Structure 1
């Protein structure tokens, strides 16, 4: 396998070392898969590939290798800056974080992150946010948006970056990711789906001088049915880039795992764009090249960056000249990058970067990572945030708010209610809303987690700002300890704000190194005690929670005075007015939980715990298989505090008059995939060494990464070509494959996405207040099949418009062939386990509120049926 070779290219100091991959548990295999498939064989990318291949055929070796890697960390305005080929009018590409907005910028929108978007269960808002994000990235001159994130999936409730994704379900993640991609790319920005794959915790994720990155050990069926699912949906939407994760899968680093990149991503899923490393995730030169990596970011070696050393750039030029990398592998990588550029129309008047991720000053060094750098204008302070974008952000923040509990109609509040407000989470960070780099602290209103997935706030509309704007009769106690002077009186309503934070591993906040290790699943800042203390003094207590994910409520949930609980998730910049609209009943809450809330952390499978320090390579074995989050709770008959999909309203809804219609007849195996189309023809001849010579009189920037070689080095590499056999990985081949049966087009065999059944259901508001309802569709496999499946699995959802009391709307949802299939490890294909079997198609308001069942065998629907869980 490819990662048997953890080496640099040719002359680097580590090049003589070939380290054997460390053992992983038996049965977890990363099989070799070579060569990297050439892109361009799907018709929807053929024109972009034609344009790209014409350019590539006329580029020199150094120009080609220059395009495949970053120019070095801190070596440009953006977090990632590729090399250019200016002779061919190919500029440097600007790559920039993050999934919720332009990171380290100004005049941008801090949108709610993915977990909040997922809680809306609203496909229109998912797409609208993608469009707005795309417009802001384009306005800043960013070519490649480093989002959305669908990995981690949320297998581990304490995982640090779960909040960047859309929820602990592959279908919810799939819709969130694909609709975001379609929105971002509709305005010409290349989206990047990440992190591929199995990066479910922050600690020990990275390879270093002292320890290999954690190995996520995942069986083939689980990989396909859970973790690969949202990536398949993103590829199906035409995503232009994929970012591989830091960790290993089954012992092989994601950045050089040929099974993942060449087989699953480029062949089975038919991915046509380019594959980039996460920042400093590349750990080798030739092995990662042969495994299908197309772009190294930010270009430096992973161990000690900022010394001008690279696994690629000049070493890639050397590797081509000495024959250790086939020429067509380089040509395909460059073509993939340029094809994505053409596919988004970036060859047509695309703006150049007008901001700096490194400084907020107008002028400064052009290459901050250089020892000596020229200076100039680095920030033009271009305004990209608009009132329309703020409205999208506010609508998401509002429609994600999830009402968990509402005893005796405590909510909505009356206009003249006397309020006592407790908790520092209710007001802005007193040190300044952007005082902590990458939001690496938990002070004030929690609008997002921390790390590279964060953004600067242009403003923070805090809950206290919201109460002020309402003219509310409130007293605020800006403390996380119960004050002695709150003076409870009859008729007071106490509102307590608590939160739970997490983020990326390079920042530790309050002893939490990204993952929630110190806080576990409890509220931060002694929030549980604050709620209990307030509940002891007040008879009507409303708890509002800003959280990155599941949080334990047991310490106070059942206290008699705790009348209402709202999870406002992570609202971004629009925390205040969005919350007020729900608290005061302008709208009914319509959010639903994108994860399960347990009664105890011990309710989760033991394998979902964080992996601690281990000598050698830490092993994270996904022994629970398909049974994560609600799948696990249902299997083990564990009643959670609140089930996946739960969310109350101020009104009530019924789901009636459902119909199910067969559309495409099922067969056990999908129809034969379409054959690959033609791909560009690449020369296999090694180019002359002169194509890699340094230009005469070139002014070099020390530490900046270049693709040229000294003449003597280039000549020596060319002279060494074919004089010895390079130690290629086991199973290596340079003969292109026809592709697996499960492939065919972007996303896989197109037959997988054929609609098997259409389902319609009438949703009626049976209450007095207006509100929106969500119809969640779950599939239950037939009894008696010889394959184990979760009891129910989310397969689709739809949200109504605002319905007045008594008003109805018919919602349409569907079940595809893939939705009723399982991944057959032996056949290496998606298989319908019972073609004539009776699949239960359940529709309702939550995973534990399903009383409407449609049967595929009878094609009839019943109401008032006992829920399957």
Structure 2
């Protein structure tokens, strides 16, 4: 079994590597290497959960349980049992007296990782390219059913961080695109779908994890140096209007869990950043679920508890497999000596139990029936232990059902047609076709031959790392094309055959790709981020296209990619007639044939901008590679990432955000703007907080964490118990962080419900537009709505910002559909850093609402306070 087969979240190298021990709480709180002006303020204490009406019943049930728990049972729920100490990538301890089992946490955002008989769905970036809310939701439902079927309590997805600030960032493909609204809508739809099945969704990573290199306190870098994680330095307005935006949508959707990032934010570790967790997430956004670390991101015990962390994963301390933890028994000790308030441990346990009740997991939820660590039927129950019992670990439960229909629909409807000169596409199945490129075929070493997709062989179905999943099967482009055009000639190689003869009627289809992933695996020199390949195709893909273009008069290029790639070497070659981006299609890569041969018209749109050169981006979004010092990654570009930057600098991209052609044409006519809720400059006052459950604040008896008689201990397993707990003395000398207080803060005016002040989601205007198929074949159109705030009223704001979108049904030639899109107060607001609230300048007058097929293809416009018409 390859070691990395079940390695969660790219934590660290365990064999032949050196480690830097985690610093003490006091050292962490001293915030060394702080960049002046970029300090994260303190915000204490942690707001209690349970004050939102929608969670009242779940918290009442949790209160009845937690009131009767021992300290050991409470601590048990907050701390993972340790690396490899169970079937899943992470599991908590249990509270069996109350029917609460060890909770199973499992990757990932596109399917159940490291198991069998489960669907490998298209990746998030592919889902974003569909611009289809229903498919986003349907995929969430299907994934939820599969996670539940495997006995997974907590689904570690969706991902909206990274946002895609750095185009070469390794994990951008796990999210839905390089826009906060697209990310937020995709995340909310996914969460609603997953949680409709009773599985707890986890939105991640909060926040600023925009590159893989140097994200951790002891990452193993290619150059072999140890380093502190970089600090993502983000100003208040940029935080709210970009990076926090999709998390607000996720909390609004009722997400049960939030995962913190590895990196620092404004010089404070994400997992113990009180400003991030206590203020922004739990107070301002009203988050009611529980907050967890990423794997091995836990850096301090008391400090993280005080800062609002609720669950440590996988539970180990600085070095795994030593049986030590910052929490577990140490958290028990910290409660007993008074350094962690009893109120805090009660809230931690209550948040976890309330979420368990909220999702109905107290009723007939299955136990895990698989192992992340082996494919064998029997094996070690605790693979990380020196001595472990052996038993059945894999039951091979098939959870796929008919979910391949959803996977196929997404893989097909995401395919994005960038170019189609002379209407070369769709192809005739009797055409003389020659296919080139390893990306059209299977992995020559076999399906799932590299752990966590840590290689790039055959068709690129997904990136690598913890966000990957095993393929239960794979329909390759080669198979899909053969089924529709049996006479096609295939050359599944990245080296163009020199003996190929090309007749004038021959058409070459060239498959190329670009890969990336998580930095615990380096693939072809790329340590997660695209450091070697840059933004170019892998395996000399540009040369393959050029060689084909020199030989054939008609070339179709198909690209599987994690994000933007530069096409300048061949995009304007006269032989390159058509270009399709198929993104990351998962197990259904063969759906490309449905588009190539016109069974369906392409309807995908780019979820990012494709530049002409990497220098077209702001310099601040480049990858930072410095192993010798603490990296300060200051977001000096502010709000101006991706298309926002291109418009600000009047830089013409190769293909703009939202671009996507069809085999038919569409008109957008008869725009209509309807006022719904009158706007005021600021939202109305927030609702008052409800009353959260409360408990006695008496420190529990030390006997509650004494080792139970008769317990068979598993070495390296993490327990909440202590030797001789009655000897614990008060921790009067604990160095509390600067600004620490147990007096609750006044409720922030921008809060009031899940996601913030509920008035932010009041519909201010409804925009309707008639979409008509004006072409000769059927197809689907995407209407994208961009808001333009008047620059003289709202300075330093992007010219256009995507705020809504809708996709039509399949329209027959001549058929029309009226598309309706709601614009909320938040969509027209900017973050007022002085007042600390969302502000609609001039109550929206003069703002324009543009609708079109991309950010640079806007057909109709409505001005607030004015008229609607053609753009």
Alignment of 1:530 with 2:541, yes or no, is: no
Q: How far is 1:814 from its partner?
A: 1.5
Q: Distance in 1 between matches of 2:421 and 2:475?
A: 28
SS at match of 2:117: coil
1:84 is aligned to 94
2:277 is aligned to 261
8 A Cα contact 1:780 1:792, kept in partner: yes
Q: Distance in 1 between matches of 2:367 and 2:705?
A: 28
1:746 is aligned to 754
Greater mean alpha carbon deviation, residues 683-692 or residues 126-135: 683-692
2:854 is aligned to 846
Q: How far is 1:697 from its partner?
A: 2.4
Alignment of 1:337 with 2:347, yes or no, is: no
Q: Which of 196, 202, 219 is the equivalent residue of 1:186? A: 196
Q: Distance in 2 between matches of 1:251 and 1:198?
A: 12
Q: Which of 673, 682, 688 is the equivalent residue of 1:660? A: 673
Alignment of 1:500 with 2:508, yes or no, is: no
Q: Distance in 1 between matches of 2:681 and 2:605?
A: 35
Q: Which of 10, 17, 32 is the equivalent residue of 1:22? A: 32
1:395–1:251 distance in 2 versus 1, CA, 3 Å: same
**Pairing 1:549-698 to 2, within 5 Å after superposition:** 549-576=563-590, 578-698=591-711
Q: How far is 1:12 from its partner?
A: 10
SS at match of 2:587: coil
8 A Cα contact 1:675 1:738, kept in partner: no
Q: How far is 1:735 from its partner?
A: 1.9
2:152 is aligned to 142
Q: Which of 13, 21, 33 is the equivalent residue of 2:43? A: 33
Q: Distance in 2 between matches of 1:773 and 1:823?
A: 33
1:464–1:802 distance in 2 versus 1, CA, 3 Å: same
Alignment of 1:251 with 2:260, yes or no, is: no
2:418 is aligned to 404
Q: Distance in 1 between matches of 2:842 and 2:27?
A: 51
Q: Which of 424, 446, 459 is the equivalent residue of 2:460? A: 446
Q: How far is 1:836 from its partner?
A: 5.4
Q: Which of 762, 774, 784 is the equivalent residue of 1:766? A: 774
1:285 is aligned to 301
1:788–1:14 distance in 2 versus 1, CA, 3 Å: closer
Q: Deviations over 1:558-579 (max 9, x none)?
A: 0000000000000000000x11
2:367 is aligned to 352
Q: Which of 469, 475, 478 is the equivalent residue of 2:489? A: 475
Q: Distance in 2 between matches of 1:582 and 1:182?
A: 30
Alignment of 1:106 with 2:116, yes or no, is: yes
1:393 is aligned to 407
2:869 is aligned to 862
Alignment of 1:235 with 2:251, yes or no, is: yes
SS at match of 1:794: strand
Q: Which of 716, 734, 741 is the equivalent residue of 2:742? A: 734
Q: Distance in 2 between matches of 1:132 and 1:547?
A: 24
Q: Distance in 2 between matches of 1:363 and 1:540?
A: 55
SS at match of 2:254: coil
8 A Cα contact 1:22 1:617, kept in partner: no
Q: How far is 1:726 from its partner?
A: 2.2
Q: How far is 1:786 from its partner?
A: 4.8
Q: Distance in 1 between matches of 2:239 and 2:213?
A: 21
1:836–1:813 distance in 2 versus 1, CA, 3 Å: closer
Q: Deviations over 1:484-507 (max 9, x none)?
A: 232212211100000000000000
- Stretches of structure 1 that go unaligned for 5 or more consecutive residues are 1-10
Q: Distance in 2 between matches of 1:16 and 1:638?
A: 48
Q: Deviations over 1:316-347 (max 9, x none)?
A: 00000111100010000100001110000000
Q: Deviations over 1:182-233 (max 9, x none)?
A: 0000010000000010100000000129421110000000000000000000
Alignment of 1:226 with 2:237, yes or no, is: no
Q: How far is 1:472 from its partner?
A: 2.9
2:333 is aligned to 318
SS at match of 1:535: helix
Q: How far is 1:830 from its partner?
A: 0.4
8 A Cα contact 2:24 2:300, kept in partner: no
The list of structure 1 runs, each at least 4 consecutive aligned residues, that deviate by more than 6 angstroms after superposition, is none
Structure 2 length-normalised TM: 0.96
Q: How far is 1:18 from its partner?
A: 6.1
Alignment of 1:794 with 2:805, yes or no, is: no
2:726 is aligned to 715
1:95 is aligned to 105
Q: How far is 1:13 from its partner?
A: 9.4
- Stretches of structure 2 that go unaligned for 5 or more consecutive residues are 1-20, 220-225
8 A Cα contact 1:755 1:815, kept in partner: yes
Q: How far is 1:481 from its partner?
A: 1.0
SS at match of 1:851: strand
SS at match of 2:843: coil
Q: Which of 476, 484, 501 is the equivalent residue of 1:462? A: 476
Alignment of 1:834 with 2:842, yes or no, is: yes
Q: Distance in 2 between matches of 1:786 and 1:361?
A: 61
8 A Cα contact 2:25 2:303, kept in partner: no
Q: Distance in 2 between matches of 1:756 and 1:99?
A: 33
SS at match of 1:763: strand
8 A Cα contact 1:135 1:187, kept in partner: yes
8 A Cα contact 2:432 2:488, kept in partner: yes
Q: Distance in 1 between matches of 2:844 and 2:92?
A: 53
Greater mean alpha carbon deviation, residues 149-158 or residues 22-31: 22-31
SS at match of 1:733: coil
Q: Which of 215, 218, 226 is the equivalent residue of 1:205? A: 215
SS at match of 1:473: coil
Q: Deviations over 1:40-97 (max 9, x none)?
A: 0000001000000111110111111011010001000000110001122211000000
8 A Cα contact 1:673 1:750, kept in partner: yes
**Pairing 1:154-169 to 2, within 5 Å after superposition:** 154-169=164-179
Q: Which of 373, 389, 395 is the equivalent residue of 1:380? A: 395
Q: Which of 704, 711, 714 is the equivalent residue of 1:701? A: 714
Q: How far is 1:15 from its partner?
A: 6.7
1:5 is aligned to none
Q: Distance in 2 between matches of 1:365 and 1:77?
A: 9
**Pairing 1:772-811 to 2, within 5 Å after superposition:** 772-811=780-819
Alignment of 1:306 with 2:287, yes or no, is: no
Q: Distance in 1 between matches of 2:331 and 2:623?
A: 37
SS at match of 1:134: helix
8 A Cα contact 1:148 1:177, kept in partner: yes
Q: How far is 1:815 from its partner?
A: 1.0
1:29–1:770 distance in 2 versus 1, CA, 3 Å: same
8 A Cα contact 2:29 2:737, kept in partner: no
Q: Distance in 1 between matches of 2:319 and 2:206?
A: 24
Task: Indicate the RMSD between aligned Cα atoms, in angstroms.
Answer: 1.3
1:419 is aligned to 433
